A and B are shown apart, each in its own frame.
Chain A
Amino acid sequence: EVQLVESGGGLIQPGGSLRLSCAASGFTVSGNYMNWVRQAPGKGLEWVSTFYTGGNTYYAGSVEGRFTISGDNSKNSVYLQMNGVRAEDTAIYYCTKGRGANSIWDYWGQGILVTVSS
């Protein structure tokens, strides 16, 4: 059974740093696009970043230069390092699995809340 479990969220002050983790099971992260998608409270969905084996990474303009996505095949996990966070980064962050090397997200984690506030 495919599972994605996010961790590392919480309350953080503006300008601070946080690392989200996504532990995958039931499949291997290598060979699949792994992604972060977020949803601000009461708002719609926003794609954040994509990681693919070999170091290919993609970012939304709103987070480029501040967030870094990475993966660890040995831990079958994906990470999102969030630096210089802003109030507008407050959201539920979902880890998602692509169907192979494409952006059709067939599995989603339960989501983790990140709140940026002083």
Chain B
Amino acid sequence: EIVLTQSPATLSLSPGERATLTCRASQSVNSYLVWYQQKPGQAPRLLIYDASNRATGIPARFSGSGSGTDFTLTITSLEPEDFAVYYCQQRRDWPLTFGGGTKVEIK
């Protein structure tokens, strides 16, 4: 099973600041890494697929990078609606697995 480790667990930032979230895989997932955003009481929403492709309707301030075992989700300038929990997920192999999540909170 591919284990995904997200860091940090919590990121405390102010609106307008840059957020950098990381996801590390226990073995290579090539570029088959997906990012989701989840707000309290809501279902997750697809943000980035295959490491660097923004999903439909996702603002350009969200970007993803990486391949192999190390991946990054960057939010260039945090908007109030971006404070949420972010999960990475690998689709390289069964069983599909998620990271434990990074909570981006208002400082």
Which one, B46, B94, B101, contacts A105 given CB within 8 A? Answer: B46
Does B95 make an interface contact (CB < 8 A)? Answer: yes
Complex: A102 Cα to B91 Cα, angstroms = 8
Give 30 CB contacts A-B under 8 Å.
A44-B98, A44-B99, A44-B100, A44-B101, A45-B36, A45-B44, A45-B87, A47-B89, A47-B95, A47-B96, A47-B97, A50-B96, A58-B94, A58-B95, A59-B95, A60-B95, A94-B43, A99-B49, A102-B91, A103-B34, A104-B34, A104-B50, A104-B91, A105-B36, A105-B46, A106-B56, A108-B43, A108-B45, A109-B43, A110-B43
Does A26 make an interface contact (CB < 8 A)? Answer: no
Does B106 make an interface contact (CB < 8 A)? Answer: no
Within 8 A of A (CB), among B65-105: 87, 89, 91, 94-101
What is the interface residue range for chain B against chain A?
A: 20 to 34
Number of chain A residues whose Cβ lies closer than 8 Å to a Cβ of chain B? 20
Of chain A, the residue at the smallest CB distance from B45 is A108
Does A88 make an interface contact (CB < 8 A)? Answer: no
| Contact partners of B1 in chain A: CB under 8 A | 61
Q: Would you call A111 and B89 a contact (CB within 8 A)?
A: no
Q: Would you call A106 and B55 a contact (CB within 8 A)?
A: yes
Of chain B, the residue at the smallest CB distance from A95 is B43
Complex: A99 Cα to B91 Cα, angstroms = 12
Does A46 make an interface contact (CB < 8 A)? Answer: yes
| Contact partners of B45 in chain A: CB under 8 A | 108
Complex: A58 Cα to B96 Cα, angstroms = 9
How far apart are A72's CB and chain B's nearest CB, in angstroms?
A: 23
| Contact partners of B101 in chain A: CB under 8 A | 44-45
| Contact partners of A45 in chain B: CB under 8 A | 36, 38, 44, 87, 89, 98, 101
How far apart are A69's CB and chain B's nearest CB, in angstroms?
A: 13
**With known contacts A103-B91, A104-B50, A47–B98 Cβ distance under 8 A:** yes
Of chain A, the residue at the smallest CB distance from B48 is A104
